[in-house]
């Protein structure tokens, strides 16, 4: 299997505070890779460096063999930020249309993609409303639709399901699994919900800027003799103390 993402020896500090320390892992193409950890563990910084918004102090990141940051590469990357970065004066459709038009797409293809992305997150009926009238969950859904709108090969989702009801969370996950299986998309997802972590192919447990453990959920549970990932996290955390 080809590697979609290669991360080698990445470190980052803000001022004196070391946020990430010597992170390195590979993400195979066509898998869902989970980054699990509490807030403040450095997940978001790591994700931003993969996208290329933040530059690492040391180390290098390659996506599909191309060194980050690279503008052409960004056409293949769909990013959903932790904070909803939306234009609240515009309607949901206008937001989708704006972001879609930043990518090379014909206008008919764009319309199709917008309809598709809105359908996935179940926002089709709400597209004509201004985002300022959206609830928190609707904004998350729109952000996810924006990340999907240009049909990227690599999806990077930072806490995508926060504020969604269980029903919608299930349908989002069903779609993510579908994207992986049918369209061979690679998906990097950060979460602190353990049952979401269980659905990932590989998870890395992140804490205080370091990776505690990496493996499939089953492997990790076996290695630590744990019932669930929550327990793995606790045990792995104690070992590293």
Partner 1 sequence: MRILAIVKRIIKQLLRDRRTLALLFFAPLIILTLMYFFFNGETEELVLGTVNVDVWFTAALEESGVHVIPYEEAGRKTVIEHGLDGLLTVANGEMALILLNEEPSVSKALSAQVSTAAMRLAAAPEERPQEIEVQYIYGSADTAFFDVLSPVLIGFFVFFFVFLISGIGLLKERTSGTLERLMATPIRKGELLTAYLAGFGLFAVVQTIIVVAFSILVLDVVVAGSVWHVILINLALALVALSLGILLSTFAATEFQMVQFIPLIVVPQIFFAGIFPVEGLADWLQAIAKVMPIYYAAEALKAVMYKGLGFDAIKGELAALMAFAAVFITLNLLVLKSHRSL
Distance (Å, whole) CA 39 – CA 160? 14
Cβ-based nearer residue to partner 1, 99 or 224 = 99
Sign of CA dihedral 126, 95, 51, 187: positive
| Rounded least distance, CB 207 to partner 1, Å | 25
- Options 7, 23, 32, 74; binder of partner 1; rule CB under 8 A: 74
Cβ-based nearer residue to partner 1, 74 or 212 = 74
Cβ-based nearer residue to partner 1, 64 or 103 = 103
Cβ-based neighbours of 13, under 8 Å, separated by 6 or more: 19, 20, 57
| Rounded least distance, CB 212 to partner 1, Å | 27
| Rounded least distance, CB 239 to partner 1, Å | 35
For residues 2 and 62, is the Cβ–Cβ distance under 8 A? Answer: no
Distance (Å, whole) CA 241 – CA 237? 7
For residues 118 and 127, is the Cβ–Cβ distance under 8 A? Answer: yes
Distance (Å, whole) CA 125 – CA 148? 18
| Rounded least distance, CB 77 to partner 1, Å | 7
Select from 11-19, 74-82, 201-209, 232-240 the region that touches partner 1 (CB under 8 A). 74-82
Residue owning tokens 């929550």: 230
Query: Taking CB under 8 A as the rule, does residue 163 contact partner 1?
Result: no
**130 secondary structure, DSSP code:** B
CB atoms within 10 A of CB 241: 4
Scan residues 93-122 and list those touching partner 1 (CB under 8 A): 94, 98-99, 101-103
- Options 75, 198, 208, 219; binder of partner 1; rule CB under 8 A: 75
Q: Contact residues for partner 1 (CB under 8 A)?
A: 48, 51-53, 55, 69-72, 74-75, 77, 79, 81, 83-90, 94, 98-99, 101-103, 130
């Amino acid at each position: 299997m080809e590697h979609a993402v290669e991360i080698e020896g990445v470190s980052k500090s803000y001022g004196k505070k070391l946020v990430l320390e010597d992170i390195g892992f590979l993400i195979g193409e066509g898998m869902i890779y989970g980054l699990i950890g509490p807030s403040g563990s450095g997940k978001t910084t790591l994700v931003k460096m993969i996208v290329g918004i933040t530059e690492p102090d040391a180390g290098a990141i390659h996506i599909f063999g191309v060194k980050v940051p690279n503008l052409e590469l960004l056409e293949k990357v769909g990013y959903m930020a932790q904070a909803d970065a939306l234009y609240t004066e515009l309607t949901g459709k206008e937001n989708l249309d704006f972001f879609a038009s930043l990518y090379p797409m014909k206008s008919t293809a764009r319309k199709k993609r917008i309809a598709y992305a809105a359908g996935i997150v179940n926002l089709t009926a709400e597209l004509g409303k201004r985002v300022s009238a959206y609830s928190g969950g609707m904004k998350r859904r729109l952000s996810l639709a924006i990340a999907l709108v240009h049909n990227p090969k690599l999806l990077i989702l930072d806490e995508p399901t926060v504020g969604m009801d269980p029903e919608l969370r299930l349908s989002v996950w069903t779609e993510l699994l579908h994207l992986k299986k049918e369209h061979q998309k690679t998906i990097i997802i950060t979460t602190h919900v353990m049952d979401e972590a269980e659905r990932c192919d590989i998870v890395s447990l992140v804490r205080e800027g370091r990776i505690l453990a990496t493996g499939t959920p089953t492997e990790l549970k076996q290695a630590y003799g744990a019932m669930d990932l929550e327990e793995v996290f606790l045990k792995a955390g104690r070992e590293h103390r």
